């Protein structure tokens, strides 16, 4: 049996690594790791193969950056050639990036089953490109591996047959648990002379936050105020760095000495930083999940989330981009003790094993 595993952006690598670890000892399965090249910067891609102990990609489509339509079209065109040459039995996609959508479309049109890891996740905000990718990928997939009961319920409401839906838990937590002991030895915070538990982390990359100059300037102004209370480490996503160059926000950033900008970090260094932070401010979905497992307070700079369990059981709060809500939430965090979140069902480090078992049963290999 031949499986093509599709990765395109850094969150994909965290989800694929534990699945490939489970599969590599099964001699009846031939795994092909395909990298679309959607993220091609070394800090966004290459370092993750080392940190996650992933094999180097067997195939790299090298599509690079472009608009959503152009990038998706380039992936589809190049992936179709791979499909026709390799003739896989299954295409496994993860998450909600353009690579996931593009490869699912190609596979479905060639009548090759698609397995979607992290299926059913919804923000219910169709202005997010990721939401469109999720909806279409889920409608095309033969196997939908969900990270939560919320996600399974979303698929049932969408009219997807229950026979296609498999609740397996959050595979990204598998990577976190596997890497935690190594990450904690990194002491990444010391790189900037910071003290453990006495700094904040900021990540920004969503189009709704960085593509509009007024919104981005407002957020940087708020973070500037936060940085007067405690240092803020800000690994700058390439998309955000590009917007900074376009919008002339350098003066505002440089007037905030407590705001520490750096290039994107590898998985282990970033995990080390998050695990020892006082608070995280982010618009990333994955970080909302990671902070819940780590017990680190998280302020999500959006009005919605695709991870409601991180609010119900975890450390996450939705604060949007409103200065008053953000600063009030920070005050409450500073006054509170260390939180003790409960771990959502299936977020136990064993999701990949459940996924592999279902794939083997689907193809009658077990």
Q: Among this protein's residues, is 205 annotated catalytic?
A: yes
**Residue 280 and residue 291 in contact, taking contact as beta carbons nearer than 8 Å:** yes
- In angstroms, the CA 97 to CA 94 distance is 8
Residue 161 in tokens: 């047959």
Q: What torsion do the CA atoms of 320, 324, 326, 328 make, to the nearest 10 degrees?
A: -140
Q: In degrees rounded to 5, what are phi and psi of residue 114? A: -115, 135
User: Quick check: 260 and 234 in contact, CB under 8 A?
Assistant: yes
How many other β-carbons are positioned within 10 Å of the β-carbon of residue 30?
14
Range list of H helices, 110-212: 129-140, 149-157, 171-184, 207-210
Distance CA 132, CA 50 (A): 31
Contacts of 91 (CB under 8 A, 6+ apart): 3, 4, 6, 83, 103, 104, 107, 112, 113, 114, 115
Instruction: Kindly name the residue from 30, 150, 187, 205 that is annotated as catalytic.
Output: 205
Q: Which residues have C-beta within 8 Å of that of residue 116, sequence separation ≥ 6?
A: 93, 94, 100, 104, 137, 138, 141, 143, 144, 145
CB 59 within 8 A of CB 35: yes
CA distance 195 to 182: 19
- Residues classed as catalytic: 205
């Amino acid at each position: 049996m031949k499986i093509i595993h599709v990765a395109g952006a850094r969150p994909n690598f965290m989800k694929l690594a534990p699945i490939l670890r489970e599969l590599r000892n099964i001699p009846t399965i031939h795994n092909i790791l395909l990298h679309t090249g959607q993220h091609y910067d070394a800090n966004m891609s290459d370092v993750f193969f080392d940190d996650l102990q992933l094999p180097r990609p067997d195939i790299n489509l090298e599509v690079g950056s472009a608009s959503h339509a152009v990038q998706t079209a380039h992936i589809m065109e190049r992936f179709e050639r791979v499909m026709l040459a390799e003739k896989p039995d299954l295409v496994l996609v993860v998450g909600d990036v353009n690579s996931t959508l593009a490869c699912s479309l190609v596979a479905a049109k060639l009548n090759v089953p698609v397995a979607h890891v992290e299926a059913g996740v919804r923000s219910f905000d169709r202005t997010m490109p990721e939401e469109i990718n999720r909806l279409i990928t889920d409608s095309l997939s033969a196997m939908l591996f969900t990270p939560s009961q919320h996600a399974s319920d979303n698929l049932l409401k969408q009219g997807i047959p229950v026979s296609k839906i498999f609740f397996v838990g959050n595979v990204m937590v598998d990577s976190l648990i596997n890497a935690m002991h190594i990450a904690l030895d990194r002491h990444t915070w010391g790189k900037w002379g910071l003290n453990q538990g006495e700094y904040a982390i900021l990540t920004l990359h969503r189009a709704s936050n960085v593509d509009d100059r007024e919104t981005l300037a407002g957020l940087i102004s708020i973070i500037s105020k936060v940085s007067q209370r405690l240092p803020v480490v800000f690994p700058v996503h390439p998309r955000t760095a590009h917007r900074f160059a376009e919008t002339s926000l350098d003066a505002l950033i440089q007037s905030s000495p407590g705001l520490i900008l750096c290039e994107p970090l590898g998985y282990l260094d970033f995990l080390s930083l998050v695990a020892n932070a006082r608070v995280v401010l982010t618009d990333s979905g994955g970080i909302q999940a990671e902070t819940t497992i780590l017990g680190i307070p998280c302020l999500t700079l959006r009005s919605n989330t695709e991870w409601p369990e991180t609010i119900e059981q975890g450390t996450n709060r939705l604060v949007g981009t409103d200065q008053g809500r953000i600063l009030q939430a920070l005050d409450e965090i500073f006054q509170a003790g260390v939180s003790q979140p409960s771990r959502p069902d299936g977020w136990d480090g064993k999701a990949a094993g459940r996924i592999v078992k279902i794939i083997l049963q689907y193809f009658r290999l077990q």
